[in-house]
Amino acid sequence: MTKRVKIELSFIFLFNLLAYFIFLKIDAFESVISIVNDYEALELDELFMVFITLIVSLIFFAINRLDEIEQIKQKVKLISNYDPVTQLLNRRAMEKLFVREVRKANQRGGCFSVILIELDQFREIGMLQGACAANNMLHDVVNTLQIYLRTKDKIARWKDNSLLILCSETETQEAVGMTSKLLQSIRHISVDNFGYVTASLGVTSYQPQDNWQTIMERIQIGLNTAKDNGKNCFITMCDSV
């Protein structure tokens, strides 16, 4: 039982006790008795007024508990679906969207693309300047990317140093153009006492009979190839692996 609940229960007890003594002292009970005398069939007794105050108190208590439950549900949803640092979708939430998008494409046809972004200096900045500096850089990157993302695009924090973008209704050529713009925008971000930020990216598009695991395997190969090529670039993966 939380401290707040104990306080409210104590308040309800004191309120009803006070109401009982007030009703004993004032004419409230005389009014009740008058009603009883006039309408004997109602069979009201002297506890009628206390009963009313008790009902009001319990309703008040129940409403507060419902509000509290709703707040807890919202907090649980926030924790389970969103990254606490960036307020982006987290990996778990993105995987659900990913699976849904694959299922829709397999059943109804259509297309979508995925862009995986790894920030080349995130961990280095974290070691040299601390986690706050790395997170500030991450915020700058996220804010910059969101300028170029469309309403139908979903972005999530995939790992500590990587972001995943799900581009609905987007074919490879359009996704490649978007990836190029995103990379250029990241290159204009600088960190104090460090320099400009770079990133390695992989991009791929849905192919018939894909599942989300095969897409992620393909895009991870693209990202790793970009890193092997010196980073600060992107690789497009078109073939299944």
Question: Where in the chain are all domains bearing CATH 3.30.70.270?
Answer: 91-237
The 10 Å CB-count burial string (b at 16+, else e) for 117-145 is: bbbbbbeebbeebeeebbbebbebbbeeb
| Cβ–Cβ < 8 Å for 145, 163 | yes
CA–CA distance, 194 with 64 (Å, rounded to integer): 51
Mean pLDDT by 10 residues, the chain (241 residues): 64 68 61 58 52 70 68 67 93 92 89 96 93 95 96 95 96 95 96 93 93 93 96 87 52
What the block records as the tokens of 199 is: 């990133």
Cβ atoms within 10 A of the Cβ of 182, count? 24
Cβ atoms within 10 A of the Cβ of 227, count? 17
Q: What is the value of pTM for the model shown?
A: 0.70
18-53 residue pLDDT tens? 766 666 665 555 665 565 565 554 444 545 555 666
pLDDT of residue 232: 96
Q: Spelled out in words, what is the top-level CATH class assigned to the domain 91-237?
A: alpha beta
